[in-house]
Amino acid sequence: MNARRNHQIVLARRPTGAVSEACFESTVRDVPELGEGEALLQVRYLGIDPTIRGWLDERGNYMPGVAIGECVRSNGVGVVVETNNPDEYPLGRVFMHLTGWQEYCVLQPNPYPPITMLPEGVALTDVLGVLGHIGITAYVGVLEVARPEPGQTFLVSAAASGVGSIAGQIAKMQGARVFGIAGTAAKCAWVVDELGFDACIDYKTEDVAARLRELAPEGVDIFFDNVGGRLLDTVLRRIAVHARVVLCGDISTYDVDTPPRPLHNIRYVMGKRARMEGFNTLDHWDHYHEAAAQLAEWRAQGKLKFREHVLEGLDRAPEALVRLFTGDHLGKLVVRVSGPGADPEARTD
Ligand SMILES: NC(=O)c1ccc[n+]([C@@H]2O[C@H](COP(=O)([O-])OP(=O)(O)OC[C@H]3O[C@@H](n4cnc5c(N)ncnc54)[C@H](OP(=O)(O)O)[C@@H]3O)[C@@H](O)[C@H]2O)c1
């Protein structure tokens, strides 16, 4: 048996409705002896992503649900500290993987989803945000699915989220007029004043339909939707002829136990000869290195801004997940598990 002990957060009970910290328990287990072709990753940071909520339900989502007593599945980054496979997993190199909420994770040879080795010197929190699947989702979703043209109206929901904030900035670089929808005045101010969006609607205090009539009297050409549910239904009434509705996520339906309300305004898709298209970033993972290089270049040129919100310590992962659904964060939520402290510019608490 390996001498190391592994601190994990496991699923203790399934949420009914909104997830709470009581759904999770902290435990310590042995680290198994490594098999042929395997390596041991010491987890440094976890990305707290909306998709985790789907994995807490028995039915899961595009991946199966996590079993009761099992370590919570989660994206993360870590460093190889032991290896039986130095070609695929060299000692000391950093990998992005579905590490789970734990201190150590065993890397298997040739896994799916693929494990990505990261360039040396890259900031680890970037890999869970702008240079990871969040950035790639926005990149693929905007440039391959939404394809905005100069002068078009591009609306993005959850505009201050990791994906939403990057999607809006990429659409702006394509010459679109970019509007956001977000849940607080501070988030709206951030996307307009710092990220360069043309306007942002606070969906908790403003009449979204009325504001859209004002901002886009001819209708919305592209709606990049991260929220789904009622908000999607509201926007469908305001789409332009030949609009494109990109279904990136429907976070408003993840943390509830009632089925989503039917879309009353779906007929506008036909009436406006519009197109709705969903996508999953994992289908585009072969573009990872190209997309990450472009995102890094835009970032270095100051054209792309991104913000992380770091919580310190593995035990705070459940709190982070709860905060994701209450919106109580500004920037991509990540949890630091081990290793050197966060980037001093990131918000930390
Ligand atoms: N298609 C893909 O392959 C793919 C890949 C990754 C992510 N996604 C999707 O992209 C979206 C954003 O993910 P992310 O990781 O970037 O998010 P994030 O940074 O974790 O931010 C999530 C934000 O969603 C908003 N939100 C939460 N519950 C809401 C509700 N009931 N109604 C409206 N807004 C709500 C909150 O902001 P407010 O304060 O503004 O409410 C929250 O801050 C999610 O829908 C996710 O599922 C899709």
Q: Is pLDDT above 50 for 139?
A: yes
* Binding site membership of 182 for ligand 1 (Cβ less than 6 Å): yes
Per residue in 301-338, pLDDT tens?
Answer: 999 999 999 999 999 999 999 999 999 999 899 999 98
**Does residue 253's CB lie within 6 angstroms of at least one atom of ligand 1?**
no
pLDDT of 268 > 60? The answer is: yes
Give the rounded percent of residues in the chain with a pLDDT score beyond 70.
Answer: 97
The predicted structure's pLDDT at residue 348: 57
Q: In what order do the strands lie in the sheet with 220-225?
A: 199-202, 177-182, 153-157, 220-225, 239-247, 275-278
Angle (CA) 194 128 50, round 5°? 85
Q: How far apart are CA 116 and CA 175, in angstroms?
A: 32
The atom of ligand 1 lying closest to the CA of 49 is: 15
- Report pLDDT for 345: 46
- What does the pLDDT look like over 247-258, one tens digit per residue? 999 999 999 988
Instruction: Identify the pLDDT of residue 282.
Output: 86
Number of Cβ within a 10 Å radius of residue 2: 14
Does 130 contact ligand 1 (Cβ within 6 A)? Answer: no
Mean pLDDT for 264-278 is 97
C-alpha 160 to ligand 1 mean position (Å): 9
Higher pLDDT, 22 or 116: 22
Q: Cα(200) to centroid of ligand 1, in Å?
A: 16
> Measuring CA to CA, which residue among 95, 104, 98 is closest to residue 3?
104
- Counting atoms of ligand 1 from 1, which one is nearest the CA of 229? 32
Calculate the average pLDDT of the chain.
93
Nearest-CA residue for ligand 1 atom 41 is 183
pTM above 0.85, yes or no: yes
Determine the residue of 51, 56, 161 to mutate for testing ligand 1's pocket, defined as the one with the most ligand atoms within 8 A of the Cβ atom: 161
75-84, 108-117, 287-296: range with lowest mean pLDDT:
108-117
Ligand 1 pocket member 285 (CB < 6 A): no
What average pLDDT does range 261-279 have in this prediction?
96
Q: Out of 130-139, 218-227, 282-291, which region has the weakest mean confidence (pLDDT)?
A: 282-291
State residue 344's pLDDT score: 44
Q: What percent of the chain has pLDDT over 90?
A: 82
**Using a 6 Å cutoff on CB, does residue 280 contact ligand 1?**
yes
Beta pairing, strands 39-47 & 332-336? antiparallel
Q: How far is the CA of 158 from the centre of ligand 1 (A)?
A: 6
